[in-house]
Amino acid sequence: MGTITEDVLHDAAAGEQYALGVVYRALAPTVQAFLHARGAEDPEGLTNEVFLQVLPRLTTLTGGTAGLRTFVFSVAHARAVDDVRRRGRRPRQAPYDPESDDRVSDSAETEALVGRADHLRAVLDRLNDHQRSVITLRVLADLSVEETARVLGRTPGAVKQLQRRGLLALREILEEGGEST
Amino acid sequence: MIDDLDVDGPEVTRFLAELRALPQDCDPTPSGELTVLLECGPPGPMAPSGVPRRQLAGVSAAVLVAALTGTGWAAAANDLPSPVQDVIADLSGPLPFDVPHSSEQDGPGLHVESHVLPASQPMRSHRSTTSGPSADAVDAHDTAPTGSAASGDADEVPGPAPVEPEVDTDGDIQDEGDNPDGAAQLGGGVSDAGDGNEDGNEDPGDDPAAYPVEGDPPGVGPSGEDPPGVGPPEAGPPGVGPPEAGPPGGGSPGAGPPDAHPQEPAAETGPPTTPPGEGD
């Protein structure tokens, strides 16, 4: 995020190609990680959707770089919620993807990365939706309590409460041995 | 932000640190649509000048309406260049008002009508003011059609009178038929169609209020329907409405005893108008 300055943001709002690229490169990985941690089936595809929605609306953005981050993760949060609902309505049907085939052995590095991400995701899955949203927005998206409250449409007090309970739940889960329930 | 989470326990701290580092492993590939967006920029919701598109659309629509209105008025006044005027006249067939051809502008003796007709007709006055000399021609043409209407026969059709003295002398409703013919002859360029219409339309045209529409007789079909010779003079009026209606509404509001018969006024007006027309 450090690379996104007010000037860059101004240029991005004006449609400057370089500035749009800076915004995307600075935020897209975090958005994808956020969506992965929230349990999205296709984090990369959803990340594209988020930026397709965000970039054209930069002209109406207020609040500077902090406002940008809040806005981006508001959209990402909405996409994650939509994804969960969509999965609840119908079973997933997707073409065969060799990369997601468990029968294919990955490289050691990929295995380590995927393994770590899956471990984190498995632990977070044991939190309830609200706690998971608060923890991921506070830690991954690096939002303040007020910004998180704005994204979730809750009061800062409610966010603090969810955060506290979520951290307590995390400690219990990790002491039990992690994702295994 | 992670510092103010008030975390207790090394395991939770480590877990949150790993979670925070998760984006480092992510390198999303932009989709084709997003690539286009990143390379070309978003389709601007704002115009270059900063004016919202909606406002631009409004202004454009207003300009378009103004241009069309202006062109329409100019066409009605026969003020447009000949080619343009002819094109618009051709295209204005289905419209409820009459747009003259450029050739209809030059008709001898058309000026007579202006003083004969009552000043009650707003359209006429407008045209005359706007079009100047040509206005006479326009008026004549317009009036001819409408004016030729029963009552107006004599008055408005002063033009025809000069050409065909018989008409005036006849004084009979026959004038209607005559008038159209006369008008055609006078105007030279005047289309038969217009004249023919006049005959049938007379009554409605007589109404000052309905005047603007006179050119294209409301009920009357296109030119073909009302050839000058068609039907007896009375036929025209009755077709449109009761016989009385024609005279009173008749373009000859000036005529005191309009109720009498359309022909009467014609007879009266005939004589006075002929002289000026015949001056030629």
pLDDT of residue B72: 79
B171-184 pLDDT, tens digit per residue, is 444 444 444 444 43
pLDDT of residue A33: 92
pLDDT of residue B141: 44
How many Å apart are CA A69 and CA A162, to the nearest integer? 21
pLDDT of residue B51: 55
Closest CA to A39 of A121, A136, A162, A128: A121
pLDDT of residue B8: 73
ipTM: 0.81
Residue B269 has pLDDT above 70, yes or no: no
The structure tokens listed for A161 are 């409460």
Map residue B52 onto helix, strand or coil: strand
In this complex, which of B12, B24, B38 lies closest to A170 when CB atoms are compared?
B12
- Window A:88-117, CB contacts with B under 8 Å: 113, 116-117
pLDDT of residue B3: 60
Flag the least confident range among A32-41, B2-11, B254-263.
B254-263
B8-63 pLDDT, tens digit per residue, is 788 888 999 999 998 887 888 898 888 988 888 777 554 444 556 677 788 888 88
- CA B2 to chain A, closest CA, distance in angstroms equals 6
Map residue B86 onto helix, strand or coil: helix
User: pTM of the prediction?
Assistant: 0.47
User: Would you call A16 an interface residue with chain B, using a CB distance cutoff of 8 Å?
Assistant: yes
- CA A179 to chain B, closest CA, distance in angstroms equals 12
Q: Which residues of A touch B41 (CB under 8 A)?
A: 15-17, 20
The answer to whether residues B228 and B196 touch, using CB atoms and an 8 Å cutoff, is yes
Give the CB-side neighbour count of residue B179, counting CA atoms within 13 A: 44
B95-114 pLDDT, tens digit per residue, is 777 778 877 755 443 444 44
Confidence band of B74 (pLDDT split at 50, 70, 90): confident
Most B-contacting residue of A53, A139, A160, A164 (CB-CB within 10 A), to test interface: A139
Q: Which residues of B touch A44 (CB under 8 A)?
A: 28-29
Residue B78 has pLDDT above 60, yes or no: yes
**Low-confidence residues in chain A, pLDDT < 50:** 1, 180-181
**Average confidence (pLDDT) over B88-98:** 77
How many Å apart are CA A3 and CA B170, to the nearest integer? 98
Interface contact flag, A143 B1, Cβ < 8 Å: yes
Residue in the structure block whose two tokens are 């910004």: A147
Interface contact flag, B23 A30, Cβ < 8 Å: yes
User: Would you call A44 an interface residue with chain B, using a CB distance cutoff of 8 Å?
Assistant: yes
Residue in the structure block whose two tokens are 């209809």: B104
